[in-house]
Amino acid sequence: MKIITVVGARPQFIKAAAVSRAILEHNAGSNNLITESILHTGQHYDEKMSAVFFDQLEIPNPKYNLGIIEKNHGAMTGKMLEQIEMILLDERPDMLLVYGDTNSTLAGTLAAAKLHIPVAHVEAGLRSYNRSMPEEINRVMTDHLSSFLFCPTQAAVQNLNGEGIEQHIHNVGDVMYDVAMKYRSIADRRYQLEQWQVEENSYILCTVHRAENSDQKARLQSIFYALNEVAAEIPVVLPLHPRTRKMLKEFNLEYLLDPLHIIEPVSYLEMVRLEMSAKAIITDSGGIQKEAFFHKVPCLTLRDETEWVETVELGCNKICGANKDVILEKWIEICRDNDMFYFLKEGRGLPYGNGTASYKIVEVLTANDC
């Protein structure tokens, strides 16, 4: 079977690392070979936003790199669509594999669906029910055009059912959990907290990059006011996404970075190391909310809703939006609660699977060889 995998943004490299490895392992023990070629749209292009993940997570080098850097969604998605279509016409793969909810996901899906090439969507069924988010539009479109829907959670399955999608759904668990479990002890051995001048359980890890926060001055300012107050109590380490750096400059808010411990975006293993030892994580990232959960670290989410509802239902992730007072109120709540992960002692079944999602995906793909 011949597969083309489309990736473009940081979280997709991490998810693809799990499945590409499972494909290689499958090939080592089977005659039913999968030939995977990686197509990188170029959406993320800085060394620290792209190449570092390919190197560190040993992701096969992309066969194609489209180098598409565009600011506007239409131009970015349109250029990707045009170029991906040409490659698909030339390669004629049996399947296209996409991850998550970025513009690269949508462009790959549209190109393949129009050419009647089956699409397999990893991280299907996630919904925020907020259509002002570009990611929500990308997810809905992708799910409705996909032939294989690999859901990370039961809630995702129910979301699809709610939209009338009943077939070809596989609740395999979360590929990000596979990656987190694989690299946790390696990260612990390889990186020391001293490199960031912090100590175990004595700092906050923070990330901010969502368009709804970075591109609205009032929200961005309010978030950074809150972070400045938290930083008066405990160091706040923030690997700064290039989008947020650019917008802080544009809004003349760069001075709000001064009280924070700002670092460049870090590699995946460094991020895992920082996550594991943080007292809490404050983020608007989808992936990092889950990683906080995987590493048993309380999380404050700088969004008005989340797709990862299980973490909120279990009480270890608190939705804060971008309001400074709410963020600080929830910060006090998590400081007072020293047993946010009490449910782990109750032996309840946990969401996100058992760390074998990527193997299950490969099993389904090979069983349905197109």
User: Of 103 and 289, which CB lies nearer to ligand UD1 in the complex structure?
Assistant: 103
Q: Answer with the entry of ligand UD1, ligand UDP, none that 271 interacts with (C-beta below 5 to 8 A by kind).
A: ligand UDP
6 binds, among ligand UD1, ligand UDP, none (CB under 5 to 8 A by kind): none
Q: Do the strands 64-65 and 95-99 form a parallel or antiparallel pair, or are they unpaired?
A: unpaired
CB of 176 to ligand UDP, least distance (A): 6
Q: Does 239 bind ligand UDP (CB under 6 A)?
A: yes
Q: Does 11 bind ligand UDP (CB under 6 A)?
A: yes
Q: Tell me if 286 contacts ligand UDP by CB under 6 A.
A: yes
Active site residue 209: yes
DSSP, collapsed to helix, strand or coil, labels residue 310 as: helix
DSSP secondary structure code for residue 308 in this structure: -
User: Strand, coil or helix: what is 157?
Assistant: helix
Q: Could you write out the DSSP letters of every residue in 171-229? A: E---HHHHHHHHHHHHHHHH--GGGGT--TTSSEEEE---HHHHT-HHHHHHHHHHHHH
Judged by CB under 6 A, does residue 207 bind ligand UDP?
A: yes
User: Which of 101, 310 has the CB closer to ligand UD1?
Assistant: 101
Q: Which of 4, 10, 104, 124 lies at the binding interface for ligand UDP (CB under 6 A)? A: 10
Smallest gap from residue 128 Cβ to ligand UD1 (A) = 11
Output the smallest distance, CB 114 to ligand UDP, in A. Answer: 26
Exposed e or buried b per residue across 124-158, where buried means at least 16 C-beta atoms within 10 angstroms of its C-beta: bbbbbeeeebbbbebbbbbbebbbbbbbbbebbbe
Residues of this chain that bind ligand UD1 (CB under 6 A): 9-11, 43-46, 49, 71, 101-103, 134-135, 209, 211, 242-243, 246
Of 8, 125, 287, 351, the one binding ligand UDP (CB under 6 A) is 287
- Is position 183 an interface residue for ligand UDP (rule: CB under 6 A)? no
Q: How far is the CB of 331 from ligand UD1 (least distance, A)?
A: 23
Q: Measured from the CB of residue 33, what is the shortest distance to ligand UDP in angstroms?
A: 29
**Residue 108's binding partner out of ligand UD1, ligand UDP, none, with CB under 5 to 8 Å set by partner kind:** none
Among 271, 280, 300, 340, binds ligand UDP (CB under 6 A): 271
Closer residue to ligand UDP, CB minimum distance, 62 or 100: 100
Residue 49 or 362 with smaller CB distance to ligand UD1: 49
Residue 102 or residue 109: which is nearer to ligand UD1 going by CB? Answer: 102
CB 6 within 8 A of CB 104: yes
Residue 288 is a binding residue for ligand UDP (CB under 6 A): yes
CA distance 146 to 68: 24
CB–CB of 117/33 below 8 Å?
Answer: no
> Residue 255's Cα: distance from chain center in Å?
29
> 3: which strand partners?
36, 95
Helix residue ranges, H only, 29-163: 51-56, 73-91, 103-114, 134-145, 154-162
42 within 8 A of 8, measured Cβ to Cβ = yes
Q: Among 4, 14, 98, 172, which residue interacts with ligand UDP (rule: CB under 6 A)?
A: 14
Q: Which of 111, 252, 78, 278 is nearest to 196 (CA)?
A: 278
Residue 41 lies near ligand UDP (rule: CB under 6 A): no
Question: Which residues are CB-neighbours of 143 under 8 A, at least 6 positions away?
Answer: 121, 124, 125, 149, 160, 163, 165
> CA 47, 52, 55, 57: dihedral to nearest 10 degrees?
-150
By C-alpha distance, which of 2, 22, 272 is closest to 112?
2
> Residue from 224, 268, 294, 359 that binds ligand UDP (CB under 6 A)?
268
Residue 237 lies near ligand UDP (rule: CB under 6 A): no
Per annotation, catalytic residue among 26, 44, 209, 241: 209
Shortest distance, CB of residue 283 to ligand UDP, whole angstroms? 7
Q: Which is nearer to ligand UD1, 122 or 231 (CB)?
A: 122
- 1: helix, coil or strand? coil
Contact set with ligand UDP (CB under 6 A): 10-11, 14, 207, 209, 239, 265-266, 268, 271, 285-288, 291
As annotated, the active-site residues are 209
